[in-house]
Structure formats: C-alpha cells, structure tokens
C-alpha cells in the first residue's frame, strides 16, 4: 500500500478576525490566548502553526471557530 502525501499548507485569518473584533491589538489577543505577542505575529505571518489547543484558545478569544480561523489549502504543484 502506498501513502501519497500532497503538499498542503495552513492559511490563517487571524488578522481579519482581529480587525472584525474592533481592531483588537496583537498584545490583547496574546493576553487572551495566554501566549506571547511574538507568537501571534508568527502565526499571522504563517511562520508558526499552532497546536490544536492554541488554535481552540485563539478561536475562543476571537469568538469564532477553528475552521473559520484556519484552513488547509493545497499548494500549487
């Protein structure tokens, strides 16, 4: 049996939801989610993919769902 891995990447809409929540600052979101501001910066830039736990905490802090916040997209070949 062969397992084929397709190249996928995670896109996030953290910046969009911060804007939608009255331009919530990165520091405020970091405080709500219990992480450092640098971690929020890294997530927004796509340099760091959060764990399920952190994704859930971010979604709760932004009053949305994980599916709305993060999406799995197939990379172009």
Partner 1 sequence: MTNRTLNIIRGAWIAATALLAAAWNGDAWVLLIVLPALGPILREVAPASDIDERQRLLDYRASHYALIVTYVLLFVLFARSWFQLKHEPPIELWLLLVAPLVVRTVISVAQGFGVRKMALILGFVCGAVWLAFSTAEHPLSPESAVGLSIIAFTALGIRWPRLGGALLALDAVAFAIFLIPKGVQNSHGDWVGVLVMTLALPLPPLLAGLGLIGSSVRAAKPTQDEFGDLRRTT
Write phi, then psi, for 11 (nearest 5 degrees). Answer: -100, 145
**Window of 1-9, 18-26, 31-39, 59-67 that interacts with partner 1 by CB under 8 A:** 31-39
Per the CB < 8 A criterion, the answer to whether 66 and 55 are in contact is yes
- Restricted to residues 34-73, the positions that interact with partner 1 (CB under 8 A) are 34-36, 38-39, 42, 48, 50-51, 53-54
Cα 62 from Cα 7, distance rounded (Å) = 29
Nearer residue to partner 1 within complex by CB, 3 or 52: 52
Site residues (vs partner 1, CB under 8 A): 34-36, 38-39, 42, 48, 50-51, 53-54
């Amino acid at each position: 049996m062969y397992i084929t891995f397709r190249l996928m990447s995670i896109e996030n809409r953290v910046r969009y939801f911060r804007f939608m929540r009255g331009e919530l600052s990165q520091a405020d979101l970091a405080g709500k989610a219990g992480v450092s501001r640098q971690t929020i910066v890294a997530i927004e830039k796509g340099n760091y993919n959060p764990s399920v736990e952190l994704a859930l905490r971010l979604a709760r802090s932004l009053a949305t769902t994980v599916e709305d916040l993060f999406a799995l997209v197939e990379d172009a070949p």
